[in-house]
Amino acid sequence: PHAGPAESKNEAAMSELVPETRQKPVVPMKPTGINASLLGYIGIDTIIEQMRKKTMKTGFDFNIMVVGQSGLGKSTLVNTLFKSQVSRKSSGWNREEKIPKTVEIKAIGHVIEEGGVKMKLTVIDTPGFGDQINNENCWEPIEKYINEQYEKFLKEEVNIARKKRIPDTRVHCCLYFISPTGHSLRPLDLEFMKHLSKVVNIIPVIAKADTMTLEEKTEFKQRVRKELEVNGIEFYPQKEFDEDLEDKTENDKIRQESMPFAVVGSDKEYQVNGKRVLGRKTPWGIIEVENLNHCEFALLRDFVIRTHLQDLKEVTHNIHYETYRAKRLNDNGGLPPMAVETEENHESNL
């Protein structure tokens, strides 16, 4: 018996659903007699050069925050890192100058150029942090500032007519200065890093490391690492963001040996054996800032600038900013933060 029109329709629908088994395309044989090297090079590797040229034209942003009590040499260290006066420090103590009552936040921008590459560097200083008798919650304005930068970026991103290149003011790296006491970390240090390690890349550094002997320094570094671990504080580079085995091996070495970097900063030059070096003069000789036998400044510089700068930016964008963005959109019922709720809308949501 012939199938009715309804059945034939069904069959047709079924045959549409079942994908036809396609034959694999036949791979053509390599033509013989043609020079293989002619077919060899395509030129995919030039993409790196193309990207380099683009970056050279536009430059890139890098925003670094320094946090710690006053007198730990924060400005000097940042100036040493970038070999220029990028962080202002007051010359001499002014009688009129008072310790800020609360944490202030000062951002100073610069353009540094080297080898044709332009870096828009912003140094964010936090004077007043940890300088009061009662330092309770003094990390709050810093967290607020970091989140405000994420918010600013998010607002630009959800604009209908958004800029091709959104100005990036997000904090890519926070250098947290630990006082070289040789004792335990202060509750303030733990409190700050506990709260802030979730929103920003924290790199702990032991400031003014020349005040400790080598044994004290090694011991103090181990103690700080232990305390951070016991308190569940993740500093940069965070274990869970290692992308592959090579990253893990390299970062494990940094986490287990170098962190926290014991550093000495100086923007003064001295002559040592006929060479000009950055250093600090003491009655018994010159501490050379970039000499690894004297301090770990060179390790910190190579880490922040020469090996992990791009990664600091990526972790900020892909992890910290994404976390902020997801939370912000969730709280807002999936709407971008630009949408202003009317009174009625708000009531109907409740």
Q: Is 47 helix (H, G, I), strand (E, B) or coil?
A: helix
Q: How far apart are CA 120 and CA 336, in angstroms?
A: 29
Distance CA 267, CA 75 (A): 10
The answer to whether position 347 is within a domain reads no
Q: What is the model's pLDDT at position 344?
A: 44
**List of residues 6+ apart from 174 with CB closer than 8 A:** 64, 65, 66, 67, 196, 200, 201, 202, 203
| Residue 92 Cα to chain centre, angstroms | 32
CA distance 300 to 262: 9
Domain count, the chain: 1
Q: Is 53 domain-assigned? A: no
Note down the domain range covering 150: 62-332
User: Measured at the alpha carbon of residue 92, what is the angle toward residues 90 and 93, in degrees to the nearest 5?
Assistant: 90
In a domain, 344, yes or no: no
Q: How many CB atoms lie within 10 A of CB 291?
A: 15
Distances (CA, A) of 214 to 170, 273, 275, 284, 295: 37, 24, 25, 16, 10
Query: What burial letters (b/e) apply to 25-62, b meaning 16+ CB within 10 Å?
Result: eeeeeeeeeeeeeeeeeeeeeeeeeeeeeeeeeeeebb
**Structure letter (DSSP) for residue 206:** E
Q: How far apart are CA 134 and CA 115, in angstroms?
A: 47
At 146 the pLDDT is 96
Give the count of beta carbons closer than 10 Å to the beta carbon of residue 114: 9
Q: Is residue 41 part of a domain?
A: no
Residue 52 within any structural domain of the chain: no
269 bridge partner residues? 278
DSSP labels, 114-171: ETTEEEEEEEEE-TTTT-SS--TTTTHHHHHHHHHHHHHHHHHHT-SS--SS------
Q: pLDDT in tens for each of the 350 residues of the chain?
A: 555 555 555 555 454 555 555 555 555 555 555 555 666 788 898 999 998 888 888 888 999 999 998 888 888 888 888 887 787 654 444 555 566 767 889 898 999 888 888 889 999 999 889 888 888 888 999 999 999 999 999 999 888 888 888 899 999 999 999 999 888 899 999 999 999 999 999 999 999 888 888 899 999 999 999 999 999 999 999 988 888 888 899 999 989 888 899 988 887 888 888 888 888 888 878 888 887 888 888 899 999 999 999 999 999 999 999 999 999 988 877 777 764 444 444 444 44
Is residue 232 a part of any domain in this protein?
yes
Whether 1 is covered by a domain: the verdict is no
| Residue 94, domain CATH | 3.40.50.300
Residue that the structure tokens 């060479």 belong to: 275
- The answer to whether residue 18 is domain-embedded is no
pLDDT of residue 260: 93
Q: Give first-to-last CA distance, the chain, whole Å.
A: 63
Write down the residue that tokens 């020079």 correspond to. 35
In the structure encoding, which two tokens stand for residue 345, read together? 């809308």
The per-residue pLDDT for 277 is 85
